[in-house]
Amino acid sequence: MTADPRPLVVLAGHIHPEAEAHLSASARVAVVAELTEARVVEAARDAQGILVRGGPRCGERLLRACPRLRVIGRHGVGLDTVDLGAATRLGVAVVHAPGSNSQAVAEHALMLMLACAKRARTIDRRTRAGDWSARHVVENVELGGRTLGILGIGNVGRRVARFAAALGMRVLAYDPYVTADEIRRRGAEPVPSLEALLPEVDVLTCHTPLTDETRHLINAKALTLLKPGAIFVNTSRGPVQSEPALLEALRSGRLAAAGLDVFEQEPSPLDNPLFNLDNVLCSTHVAGVTQEAHRIAGFQVIDEMLRVLRGERPHVLANPEVWPRPASPR
């Protein structure tokens, strides 16, 4: 019997079934349900490609254990689950799907803003208990006429800017990697620094990748610069915020509320004190997880992986230094 000549691609978790079928037309596919490094290595020792969603982290040890590996695909936007430096040193291309879940995350951020402003969690709980006192205690606020600060105005941030403008908000943005003119084209007024942004805003929303520069960017010092009674929303990465500082700001009333889709540790421990606060609305890192985004991301990253496996340069290559691929074998 002739061996199947198609490359082997290991999926760390299932992707959209249509996207998986699309991949199966050009590659042998193995799906790993147990998302541990050991299990993925076991399945991928002879693989030419690995596609990861939330985990495991593709570090140097995993990459070296798979000597035939040519491409790592990240199902989504962020690359913090891939050791980009190790992949580059080993000549492994890293591709992902930027923009695939931007609409989903922007909608989720808007939902969290509105839910915080309208105290949705508290009112829902009281209503189910037969308590209609919220009609007589005027604490909800309107977002129209207030100022939104966007930290990072990329694919998600620019959509949030449009949503906020439709509500009648003033929109400011800080992004050191986008020019002032481009920020204006994306629907916001540019602000030169985070320190200049924070005192101006009633709502702060984070849409920045996790890097050494952004880790704990929202810390105790930053939170003291916000307007008293501001709302904080994070749908980017949990370590962008310092949770002890955030907890203190919420308990003291410095922050009116927070909407958090991401946490410093995920899954977050059940005893996380943020979960005990009525003025915190939480979700389980699901902002980008919609039916539409799931399908788009699957097709987008698979097409990029298949380009690499055919010997073609992918359209979105996170480590362009590996192209053309070094000749020395691992």
Q: Which of 16, 96, 186, 237 is catalytic?
A: 237
Task: State the alpha helices, DSSP H only, in the chain.
Answer: 17-24, 37-44, 60-64, 84-89, 102-117, 120-128, 155-166, 180-185, 194-197, 220-225, 243-252, 291-309
**Residue 285 annotated among the catalytic residues of the structure:** yes
Q: And the tokens for 31? A: 């799906």
| 8 A C-beta contact, residue 159 and residue 102 | yes
**Residue corresponding to tokens 């998600």:** 156
Known catalytic membership, residue 292:
no
- Structure tokens that stand for 253 in this block: 């009333």
Catalytic position from the list 6, 251, 285, 295: 285
User: Which is it for the CA torsion 277, 287, 156, 169, positive or negative?
Assistant: negative
Candidates 18, 139, 142, 266; catalytic one? 266
Peptide bond into 56 cis (omega under 30): yes
Task: Return the bridge partners of 8, or none.
Answer: 28
Q: How far apart are CA 274 and CA 246, in angstroms?
A: 9
Question: How far is Cα 75 from Cα 52, in angstroms, rounded to an integer?
Answer: 6
Is 304 known to be catalytic? Answer: no
What's the CA angle centered on 198, arms 192 and 202, to 5 degrees? 130
Any idea which residues carry the catalytic annotation? 237, 266, 285
